[in-house]
């Protein structure tokens, strides 16, 4: 079953004659459990595409269908709740809350949704990501790689079915990047998730089941493993 | 009088409260009942909004997830069947060539009108063909079992140094034949969660590839590096290299690189290696420059502290 689908997706900014066509008709289908990399040069539209898929932004035209539901027409409030329950985000610059420690950062989205924290599950994630000894540290006491691992743990904590990562290794050196990449692949398999990752790094993209190449807001190639 | 009125009003309020409570509870139970009905019928089109901030909506959302998990299990079983199907058809396809080779030479031998030299030649080709078939058969059986989970790898915390040495000794002969030296950078032994027998086989496959595609009299470098979550085993050869657009495909079953013509192989080594690492929560990356070098980096998880 396709868990993420776009139909003729368009995102335009500005007005003629200065319209910027960030996405210009993208048709995409991602199956459940797939690990997909979206690759392209700067400004090709890949971040915009990811934001559309995660409901962080609304399209100018076309549809985004998640698990059979058209989210393109949802209100802001509906989108917020939709995101909280279905999607986990990992960003290039981690976006951790600086005044909360590692554990608190990880469980924040769970508590925002008014749910009780599943301690066993969260401990499992923390252990899998090698953060057990850093549970009480503040983000500024962690290395880049460690901060990104906390961000990943946070994204996994609400057990989302979809994980969206925007250049997750962008701020990390090549060795740490390879480490983090392995974690993303491993956790998405272990927790039965669909993973969509943006990257311009060929080393990283090769681990995906499929690599979708974007240029000027359009898909130009799809390579498969 | 006032007392009587107060009592009547109090009773009325009690009565109304009970009535509304009863109706609310009943309505809630009816809604839950509907949600459970949908779960039983595997119907994800629930009549309630799953993206609102109410308790009912949270329940609905979880019910949808349960249904999805169920559906996923079913489709996984179907997928495994399809994997086996495609395996069998791939297998029969790949074996056609060596089998028809053997059949052809056997026919020629039976016909008889050949020289002694030709006879020897054909017999030795038949032998090579059957050896190749045997090897293919073994690899395919191994792979199909691994992929469907019929063979479970048994990863235990054990030193990686022994595993790497085992692989190097296995390929030593082949390397010596081409006068290739395998240089291993010194590394501290570290205990990794892995199945020694299978991991060693995977590393052997990577080394064999490196030897196959390396020029004679060259060298192959092997190094082991520990990162925060994984340990990386790298094998670098200075051979023909692999083009960027093939990086994803080389791990596919039966895939042979464009530059691989003239080198013996069935396209199974990398596939098998990648499967073995994946089954242990690891993975393999490749980095290469055409005509210059190829590095395969194999990652295994460190033992948890």
Secondary structure (DSSP) of B192-233: EEE-HHHHHHHHHHHHHHHHHTSPTT-EEEEEEEE-SSEEEE
List the single residue in B with minimal CA-CA distance to A202: B244
Q: Classify strands A194-199 and A210-215 as parallel, antiparallel or unpaired.
A: unpaired
- Would you state the pLDDT for residue A225? 54
ipTM score = 0.74
- Would you state the pLDDT for residue B266? 64
Give the count of domains, chain A.
1
List the single residue in B with minimal CA-CA distance to A149: B229
Instruction: Give me Rg for the CA atoms of chain A.
Output: 17
Smallest CA–CA separation between A58 and chain B, in Å? 16
Give the range of the structural domain holding residue A116, as residue numbers without chain letter: 2-224
Tell me which H or E stretch contains B49: none
Say how many C-beta atoms besides its own lie within 10 A of residue A15's C-beta.
Answer: 7
- Would you state the pLDDT for residue B52? 63
- Would you state the pLDDT for residue A1? 65
Q: Please judge whether B68 and A161 are an interchain contact, meaning their C-beta atoms are less than 8 angstroms apart.
A: yes
pLDDT in tens, B255-302: 777 776 666 666 778 888 988 898 888 899 999 999 899 999 999 988
The number of C-beta contacts closer than 8 angstroms across A and B is 92
List the single residue in B with minimal CA-CA distance to A174: B227
A127 lies within 8 A of chain B by CB: yes
Contacts 24+ apart (CB under 8 A), A139-145: A139/A94, A139/A96, A139/A97, A139/A98, A139/A102, A139/A105, A140/A98, A142/A102, A143/A176, A144/A94, A144/A171, A144/A172, A144/A173, A144/A176, A145/A172, A145/A176, A145/A179, A145/A180, A145/B228
- Would you state the pLDDT for residue A97? 93
Say how many C-beta atoms besides its own lie within 10 A of residue A2's C-beta.
Answer: 15
- Would you state the pLDDT for residue A164? 94
- Would you state the pLDDT for residue A154? 92
Q: Please judge whether B249 and A225 are an interchain contact, meaning their C-beta atoms are less than 8 angstroms apart.
A: yes
A82 lies within 8 A of chain B by CB: yes
- Would you state the pLDDT for residue B76? 75
- Would you state the pLDDT for residue A84? 80
SS3 sequence, B171-184? HHHHHHHCCCEEEE
pLDDT in tens, A142-168: 998 899 999 999 998 888 889 999 999
Q: Output the six-digit token pair for B259.
A: 């530059």
- Would you state the pLDDT for residue A82? 84
Give the single-character DSSP code of A224.
E
List the single residue in A with minimal CA-CA distance to B60: A85
Give the residue-averaged pLDDT of A27-47: 88
B283 lies within 8 A of chain A by CB: yes
Q: Classify strands A35-39 and A194-199 as parallel, antiparallel or unpaired.
A: parallel
CA atoms within 13 A on the CB side of A195: 32
Q: What angle do CA B112, B117, B123 make, to 5 degrees?
A: 70
Q: Please judge whether A207 and B51 are an interchain contact, meaning their C-beta atoms are less than 8 angstroms apart.
A: no
Q: Please judge whether A183 and B229 are an interchain contact, meaning their C-beta atoms are less than 8 angstroms apart.
A: yes
Euclidean distance between CA atoms A153 and A110, whole angstroms? 12
Euclidean distance between CA atoms A79 and B52, whole angstroms? 9
* Tokens 């066993």, residue located: A120
Of B27, B50, B26, B47, nearest in space to B38 by CA: B47
List the single residue in B with minimal CA-CA distance to A74: B51
SS3 sequence, B240-278? CCCCHHHCCHHHCCCCCCHHHCCCCCCCCHHHHHHHHHH
Determine phi and psi for B282, rounding to 5 degrees.
-115, -165
Q: Give contacts of A197 with chain B, Cβ < 8 Å.
A: none
Query: Which residue among A175, A185, A224 sits closest to B283, beta carbon to beta carbon?
Result: A185
A168 lies within 8 A of chain B by CB: no
B226 lies within 8 A of chain A by CB: no
Euclidean distance between CA atoms B125 and B127, whole angstroms? 5
Query: Which residue among A189, A202, A224 sits closest to B244, beta carbon to beta carbon?
Result: A202
Work out the mean pLDDT of chain A and round it to a whole number: 87
Q: Give contacts of B286 with chain A, Cβ < 8 Å.
A: 206
Q: What angle do CA A161, A125, B70 make, to 5 degrees?
A: 35
A173 lies within 8 A of chain B by CB: no
A2 lies within 8 A of chain B by CB: no
Of A51, A205, B239, nearest in space to A26 by CA: A51
Question: Which pTM does this prediction carry?
Answer: 0.74
Of A3, A1, A20, A11, nearest in space to A164 by CA: A3
Euclidean distance between CA atoms A173 and A167, whole angstroms? 13
Give the single-character DSSP code of B188.
-
SS3 A151: helix
- Would you state the pLDDT for residue B162? 94
CA atoms within 13 A on the CB side of A220: 11
| Upstream peptide bond of A122 is cis (omega within 30 degrees of 0) | no
Q: Give contacts of B68 with chain A, Cβ < 8 Å.
A: 67, 161
Query: Which residue among B72, B245, B299 sits closest to A182, beta carbon to beta carbon?
Result: B299
Query: Which residue among B44, B65, B230 sits closest to A68, beta carbon to beta carbon?
Result: B44
All structural domains of chain B, each given as residue ranges with its CATH number in brackets, are 2-72 (no CATH), 156-301 (3.30.565.10)
Query: What Å distances lie between residue A140 and A136, A143, B183, CA to CA?
Result: 12, 8, 41
Secondary structure percentages of chain A, helix, strand, coil, to 5: 35, 30, 35
B271 touches A154 (CB < 8 A): no
Euclidean distance between CA atoms B258 and B243, whole angstroms? 9
Say how many C-beta atoms besides its own lie within 10 A of residue A214's C-beta.
Answer: 22
CA A204 to mean position of chain CA atoms = 15
Low-confidence ranges of chain B (pLDDT < 50): none
Of A149, A3, A210, nearest in space to B230 by CA: A149
Share of residues in chain A with pLDDT > 90 (%): 24
Residue A25 has pLDDT above 80, yes or no: yes
Query: Which residue among B52, B228, B252 sits closest to A81, beta carbon to beta carbon?
Result: B52
A161 lies within 8 A of chain B by CB: yes
Smallest CA–CA separation between B74 and chain A, in Å? 12
Of B285, A209, B148, B213, nearest in space to B140 by CA: B148
Query: Which residue among B71, B72, B229 sits closest to A182, beta carbon to beta carbon?
Result: B229
Give the residue-averaged pLDDT of A57-65: 89
CATH number at residue A193: 3.40.50.300
Q: Please judge whether A81 and B285 are an interchain contact, meaning their C-beta atoms are less than 8 angstroms apart.
A: no
Secondary structure percentages of chain B, helix, strand, coil, to 5: 60, 15, 25
Query: Which residue among A203, A205, A223 sits closest to B287, beta carbon to beta carbon?
Result: A203
Smallest CA–CA separation between B270 and chain A, in Å? 12
> How many helical (H) and strand (E) elements, i.e. helices and strands, does chain B have?
6, 7
Residues 6+ apart with CB under 8 A from A222: A210, A211, A212, A213
Query: Which residue among A67, A185, A206 sits closest to B248, beta carbon to beta carbon?
Result: A206
- Would you state the pLDDT for residue B225? 93
pLDDT in tens, A188-203: 887 788 999 998 888 8
């Amino acid at each position: 079953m396709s868990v993420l689908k776009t139909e003729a997706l368009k995102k335009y900014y500005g007005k003629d004659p200065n319209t910027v066509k960030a996405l210009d008709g993208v048709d995409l289908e991602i199956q459940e459990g797939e690990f997909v990399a979206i690759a392209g040069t700067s400004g090709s539209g890949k971040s915009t595409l990811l934001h559309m898929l995660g409901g962080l932004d609304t399209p100018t035209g076309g549809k985004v269908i998640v698990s059979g539901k058209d989210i393109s027409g949802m209100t802001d409030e509906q989108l917020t709740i939709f995101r909280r329950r279905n999607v986990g985000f990992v960003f290039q610059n981690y976006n951790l809350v600086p005044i909360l420690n590692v554990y608190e950062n990880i469980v924040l989205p769970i508590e925002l949704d008014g749910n009780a924290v599943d301690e066993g599950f969260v401990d499992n994630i923390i252990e899998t990501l090698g953060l057990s000894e850093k549970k009480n540290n503040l983000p500024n006491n962690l290395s880049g790689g460690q901060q990104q691992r906390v961000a990943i743990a946070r994204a996994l904590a609400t057990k989302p079915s979809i994980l969206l990562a925007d250049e997750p290794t962008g701020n990390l050196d090549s060795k740490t990047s390879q480490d983090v990449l392995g974690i993303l692949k491993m956790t998405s398999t272990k927790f039965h998730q669909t993973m969509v990752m943006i990257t311009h790094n060929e080393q990283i993209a090769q681990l995906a089941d499929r690599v979708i190449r974007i240029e000027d807001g359009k898909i130009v190639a799809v390579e498969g493993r | 009088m006032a007392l009587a009125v107060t009592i009547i009003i109090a009773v009325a309020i009690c009565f109304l409260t009970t009535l509304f409570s009863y109706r609310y509870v009943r309505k809630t139970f009816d809604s839950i009942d509907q949600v459970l009905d949908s779960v039983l019928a595997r119907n994800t089109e629930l009549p309630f909004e799953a993206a609102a901030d109410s308790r009912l909506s949270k329940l609905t959302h979880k019910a949808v997830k349960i249904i999805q998990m169920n559906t996923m299990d079913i489709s996984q079983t179907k997928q495994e069947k399809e994997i086996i199907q495609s395996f069998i058809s791939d297998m029969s396809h790949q074996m056609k060539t060596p089998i028809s080779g053997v059949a052809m030479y056997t026919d020629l031998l039976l016909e008889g009108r050949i020289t002694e030299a030709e006879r020897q030649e054909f017999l030795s080709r038949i032998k090579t063909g059957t050896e190749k078939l045997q090897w293919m058969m073994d690899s395919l059986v191994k792979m199909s079992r691994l992929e469907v989970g019929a063979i479970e790898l048994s990863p235990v915390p054990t030193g990686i140094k022994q595993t790497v040495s085992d692989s190097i000794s296995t390929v030593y002969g082949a390397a010596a034949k081409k006068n290739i030296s395998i240089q291993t950078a010194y590394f501290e032994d570290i205990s990794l969660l892995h199945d020694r027998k299978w991991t060693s086989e995977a590393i052997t496959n990577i080394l064999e590839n490196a030897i196959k595609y390396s020029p004679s009299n060259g060298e192959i470098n092997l190094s082991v590096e520990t990162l925060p979550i994984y340990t990386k085993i790298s094998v670098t050869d200075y051979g023909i290299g692999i083009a960027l657009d093939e990086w994803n495909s080389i791990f596919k079953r039966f895939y042979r690189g464009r530059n691989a013509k003239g080198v013996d192989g069935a396209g199974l080594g990398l596939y098998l290696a990648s499967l073995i690492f994946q089954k242990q929560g690891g993975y393999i990356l490749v980095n290469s420059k055409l005509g210059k070098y190829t590095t395969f980096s194999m990652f295994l998880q460190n033992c948890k502290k």
